[in-house]
Amino acid sequence: MNKVAVSAVAKTGTGPIAYGLFHCADLHTGAFRYIPDALARTKKMFSEIKRVVLAVPAKERILNIVGDAYDRKTITEEERNAFLEFVIDLVLSGVHVILINGNHDFYNESLTLIEPVKQMARLADHLHVHTKTPGVTRIGDIAFGCVPCTQGLTTEQVTALATMLHKQAHQDGKPPRAFYMLVHEAVRGSVNHKRTWQAKSDKYLHIPDLPFVTGWMLGDIHECQQIHAKAWYSGAPYQVKSDESERCGILQWAGSQTRFHPLQVPGFRYTSDIAMAKKLAAEGHYVRFTGKASEAELKSLPATVLCDGDIAAIELDVDVAVPELASNGLGSVDLISPLPEFLARDGCNERQQQRGVELVLGIKNMLSARSDRDSKSATEESDDEEY
């Protein structure tokens, strides 16, 4: 894997710098529900980001979260609250938080999952949220053109948006000293961490050369990389999928230069040896077992060790079960009865088939409980209106 070039961030004198400017994206709160202590791992990621941001001496600290704060529309109350607490902690610590929605943050065509954060922003001077509609946030003499995800943004469109937002960023007729663009889209030239995929075709946005843009802070691709003289993906701050790069962190910006800050969050290791899988698990790692083993050996593995069949069963809740349940209604489709046969065709053994069923049942029960709660709330509101 190619190393990402890291430039030192210039400091002004020996005192604090004017702006501690940070960039992260693709937090995917709610991912990895199937591993032990998944929520604790997510909270560890949040605390690591806060540690890095607060450690830099600066007169103003700014954290840009460039989309995909959440992983899926079936976010749990605990997962939602963990992200809200993270944002609140930063704001109460004096950090400006700028947040735009990514493609995973859409609940439906008209709502995003970060609407509660947007409502909170009305009460907090240090919280700035942009959903669906592009806008500008200006902090001191630095401005940010915020472009929430639309998927399919063209080079011509982003050029027009950047030009418009830069004009809006002028305050009392004065242009900002620095102007950054926040965009959550797949950009031409970006690659995944395995270098097996690259956004090459003209359907992908190409970063334009605009002299008034100091830097482009990008989200959507989980691998930290520079894809233009002024444009960087921060990458995901922790492994969102078990096959992603172990090199995860956030970026600090000074002009168009960046510095990479790694985060210490438990991640996945790979092995095809059953004994090594147990050893790595005992050391506190999550393990993806890629070898072959007997049914008895697989059953002896701790819960922090996952094999390919486990991954196939688990990913079903995102790729099949949840979309079906959400679009067709909770009672209109039976996903449970045909599930074992479906997983068997995908190479899952009996243990993995059972695990897949348990996961989908758990999601269905959660959605059903939420539906019941919403119905009860609607009934109570109707009763109140009578008085």
pLDDT digits (tens, 9 = 90+) for 260-314: 999 999 888 889 999 999 999 999 888 888 888 887 888 888 888 887 666 655 5
Regarding predicted confidence, which is higher, 72 or 231? 231
> Coil, strand or helix: which one is 326?
helix
Q: Which of 76-80, 142-146, 376-380 has the lowest mean pLDDT?
A: 376-380
Q: Which of 1-15, 29-43, 178-192 has the lowest mean pLDDT?
A: 1-15
Q: Which of 68-72, 83-87, 266-270 has the lowest mean pLDDT?
A: 266-270
CA distance linking residue 228 with residue 214, whole number of Å: 12
- Predicted local confidence at residue 188, as pLDDT: 95
**Residue 330 pLDDT exceeds 60:** no
Give which of 330, 374, 323 is closest to 108, Cα–Cα. Answer: 323
DSSP annotation of 31: -
Regarding predicted confidence, which is higher, 145 or 354? 145
Give which of 108, 34, 29, 78 is closest to 315, Cα–Cα. Answer: 34
- Predicted local confidence at residue 326, as pLDDT: 46
Q: Which of 88-97, 126-135, 295-304, 370-379 has the lowest mean pLDDT?
A: 370-379
Q: Which of 8-17, 116-125, 142-151, 253-262 has the lowest mean pLDDT?
A: 8-17
Contacts of 245 (CB under 8 A, 6+ apart): 1, 193, 222, 223, 235, 239
CA distances to 166, 169, 170, 343, 354 from 173, rounded to whole Å, are 12, 9, 6, 62, 64
**Residue 134 pLDDT exceeds 70:** yes
| Element spanning 22, H or E | strand 17-24
Tell me what the mean pLDDT of segment 123-132 comes to.
93
Q: Are 184 and 102 in contact (CB under 8 A)?
A: yes
**Residue 379 pLDDT exceeds 70:** no
Q: How confident is the model at residue 110 (pLDDT cuts 50, 70, 90)?
A: confident
**Residue 193 pLDDT exceeds 90:** no
| Element spanning 55, H or E | helix 38-55
- Predicted local confidence at residue 1, as pLDDT: 34
Regarding predicted confidence, which is higher, 39 or 3? 39
Q: How confident is the model at residue 365 (pLDDT cuts 50, 70, 90)?
A: low
**Residue 154 pLDDT exceeds 60:** yes
Give which of 275, 276, 278, 250 is closest to 264, Cα–Cα. Answer: 250
CA distance linking residue 316 with residue 325, whole number of Å: 12
Q: Which two tokens stand for residue 23?
A: 């960039």
Average pLDDT taken over every residue of the chain: 83
Residue for token pair 């067709």: 328
Per-residue pLDDT of 210-250, as tens digits, reads: 999 999 999 999 999 999 999 999 999 999 887 888 889 99
What is the pTM (predicted TM-score) of this model? Answer: 0.79
DSSP annotation of 171: B
Q: How many CB atoms lie within 10 A of CB 320?
A: 15
Q: Which of 59-63, 123-127, 333-337 has the lowest mean pLDDT?
A: 333-337
Exposure b/e, 108-130, CB count within 10 A at least 16 = b: eeeebbbeebbebbeebebbbbb
Q: How far apart are the first and last CA of the chain?
A: 67
The domains found in the chain, sorted by start residue, are 18-262 (3.60.21.10), 268-373 (no CATH)
β-strand partners of 142: 139, 178
- Predicted local confidence at residue 4, as pLDDT: 40
Q: How confident is the model at residue 366 (pLDDT cuts 50, 70, 90)?
A: low
Q: Is 262 exposed, middle or buried (0-12, 13-18, 19+ CB in 10 A)?
A: middle
**Residue 259 pLDDT exceeds 90:** yes
- Predicted local confidence at residue 319, as pLDDT: 47
> Coil, strand or helix: which one is 289?
strand
* CA 146 to chain centroid: 17
Q: Which of 8-22, 34-48, 367-381 has the lowest mean pLDDT?
A: 367-381
